[in-house]
Copies of this chain bind each other. A is one copy, B any other.
Amino acid sequence: MLLTIAYDGSTFHGWQKQPGERTVQGYLEQTMSRLFEREILLSGTSRTDAGVHAYGQRASFKADIGIPTEKIALVVNNALCAREGSESGRGGFAKSPIRILRAEEMPPEFHARFSSKGKRYIYKICSGVNELCAGSDKTQYSLVFERNYVYHVGSRLDVEAMKEAAEQFEGVHDFKSFEASGGNPRETTVRKMFAADVRQVAADSDCGLQRIEFSIEGEGFLYNMVRIMTGTLVEVGQGKRSPGDISEIINAGNRQMAGHTAPASGLYLAEVFY
């Protein structure tokens, strides 16, 4: 069975189950195991970090749960909301931070991670917060209410330069410069990116706030790769680097050459391809 899952990562210590930590996988396996009265073990596609969100995480499991596939999302979501309601004290109004979007039957050899052909991530930036909007209440509200959902950058960014820089990620490259230490050992740091784009998503009307999305689609990603790419793109947008620097950074094969690691809050696992 394959689940498509959306979650707000801000109250979780990432996807992957870890003893003593509140994780998406742990929370979901526990809720489903109680509901179906048997042990449910999920294989997720992407081990999103603490604070990273998902619009379309995928996870597969093998278990005969004895209910029709088209009812699975409904009953699991009900169980998730009931758990949230009792744990938060908000009762029937409570919504769950995790939601199953759909369930699909898959052939027995299917595995959410190993069968995946690629993934798309979106990174959301909200810039122009300090410099042009000092004192604007709308800016301040964004800092408060969107603190877990975007990356707030003080200065306005040059979107065209960022777009030009992002396009250089496309194709097959060795992305060693964009890998944080601490990931699992890898055979190679070469990865194929299908598409990379940067665009301003909202009209520049509300008090100078600039909303930018970086979208990247690739066969596979290294540890913290999208966050380091984003940090580097932000520095391009600030004029600290030029779009042409990207190929040099790639060629260097050295993490020190790339930009800072953008925070987890702006990152969304958008889609998984099979």
Could you tell me which A residues sit within 8 Å of B by CB distance?
Answer: 6-8, 50-51, 53, 55-56, 89-90, 93-99, 101-102, 135, 137, 140-141, 143-145, 147, 149, 151-152, 263-265
> Would you call B141 and A51 a contact (CB within 8 A)?
no
Cβ contacts A to B, 11 pairs, < 8 Å = A6-B137, A6-B140, A6-B144, A8-B145, A50-B89, A55-B141, A56-B137, A90-B264, A90-B265, A93-B151, A99-B143
Task: Give 4 A-B pairs besides A99-B140, A101-B137 with Cβ atoms closer than 8 angstroms.
Answer: A51-B90, A55-B137, A93-B151, A102-B135
Please pick, from B51, B53, B152, the residue contacting A145 in the complex, using a CB distance under 8 A. B53
Distance of A7 Cα from B147 Cα, bound (Å): 11
Q: List the B side residues contacting A147 at CB < 8 Å.
A: 8, 94-97
Chain copies in complex? 2
Known contacts A90-B263, A263-B93: does B141 contact A6 (CB below 8 Å)?
A: yes
How distant is A223 from chain B, measured CB to nearest CB, in Å?
Answer: 17
Closest B residue to A152 using CB positions: B95
Tell whether, in the assembled complex, residue B8 and residue A144 are in contact, meaning their CB atoms are under 8 Å apart.
yes
CA distance A56 to B141 in the complex (A): 10
Residues of B with C-beta under 8 A to A90? 51, 263-265
Task: Check if A143 sits within 8 Å of B95, measured CB to CB.
Answer: yes
**Complex Cα gap A93–B262 (Å):** 9
Closest chain B residue to A84 by CB distance?
B147
Q: Out of B141, B144, B264, name the residue touching A98 (CB < 8 Å).
A: B144
Cα(A135)–Cα(B140), bound, Å: 34
* Pairs A-B, 5 closest by C-beta atoms: A95-B147, A93-B263, A6-B144, A99-B144, A8-B144
A99 neighbours in B (Cβ, 8 Å): 140, 143-144
A96 neighbours in B (Cβ, 8 Å): 144, 147
A151, B50: Cα distance in complex, Å:
27
Per the bound structure, the CA–CA distance linking A226 and B159 in Å amounts to 43
The closest CB in chain B to the CB of A265 belongs to B93
Nearest B residue to A56, CB-CB: B137
Of all chain B residues, which has the CB nearest A150?
B95
The residues of B that contact A143 with a CB separation of less than 8 Å are: 95, 99
Chain B residues with CB below 8 A from A152, complex form: 95
Chain B residue with Cβ nearest A99: B144
Residue of A7, A93, A143, A151 contacting most chain B CB atoms (<10 Å): A93
Q: Specify which chain B residues have a CB less than 8 angstroms from the CB of A149 in the assembled complex.
A: 145
**A151 vs B94: C-alpha distance in the bound complex, in angstroms?**
10
Contacts of A53 in B (CB 8 A): 145
- Among residues of B, the one whose C-beta sits closest to the C-beta of A97 is B144
B contact residues around A101 at 8 Å (CB)? 137, 140
